[in-house]
Structure 1
Amino acid sequence: MDKLSVHHVGIVVSDLEASLEFYRDTLGLSVADEFTLSDDGIGTAIGVDGVSGDFVHLEGNGARVELIEYDPTGVDSRADAINGLGAKHVGFAVEDLQEFYENLPDDVEPLSSPQPVEIGTSILFFRDPDGNFLEVVEA
Structure 2
Amino acid sequence: MSDVAASRAEQSPNSAVELAHHGITVTDLEASARFFCEVLGLEAAPRIDLDEAFSAGVTGVAEARISVVFMQGPGVAVELLQYHGPDDRRSVDARPCDAGAAHLALYVDDLRHVVSSAAAHGWTPMGAVEPITTGPRAGGLAVYLADPSGAVLELVQRPSGVRGSTMRRT
Which of the pair is proportionally richer in strand? 1
Runs of 4+ in 1 over 4 A off after TM superposition: none
What 5-or-longer segments of structure 1 have no aligned partner?
none
Percent identical residues:
28
Q: 1:69 aligns with which of 75, 78, 82?
A: 82
Distance 1:41 1:95, change over 3 A: same
Pair 1:22-2:41 in alignment = no
Separation (CA, whole Å) in 2 of partners of 1:111 and 1:49: 33
Q: Give 1:56 shift.
A: 0.3
What 5-or-longer segments of structure 2 have no aligned partner?
1-12, 159-170
Instruction: Give the equivalent residue in structure 1 for 2:61.
Output: 48
Rg comparison, structure with higher value: 2
Q: Give 1:77 shift.
A: 4.9
Preserved contact between residue 39 and residue 114 of structure 2 (Cα < 8 Å):
no
Distance 1:45 1:103, change over 3 A: closer
Highest relative contact order (Cα 8 Å, sep 6+), 1 or 2?
Answer: 1
Pair 1:130-2:149 in alignment = yes
Which secondary structure state, in structure 1, belongs to the residue aligned with residue 125 of structure 2? Answer: coil
Q: Give 1:33 shift.
A: 4.4
Distance 1:39 1:110, change over 3 A: closer
Preserved contact between residue 37 and residue 54 of structure 1 (Cα < 8 Å):
yes
| Aligned ranges 1:1-139 → 2 under 5 Å | 1=13, 3-4=15-16, 5-73=18-86, 75-106=89-120, 107-117=122-132, 118-119=134-135, 120=138, 121-139=140-158
Report the more deviating stretch, 12-21 or 33-42: 33-42
RMSD over equivalenced CA pairs, Å: 2.1
Preserved contact between residue 38 and residue 52 of structure 1 (Cα < 8 Å):
yes
* TM-score, scaled to structure 2: 0.71
Preserved contact between residue 33 and residue 56 of structure 1 (Cα < 8 Å):
yes
The size of the alignment, in residue pairs, is 139
* TM-score, scaled to structure 1: 0.84
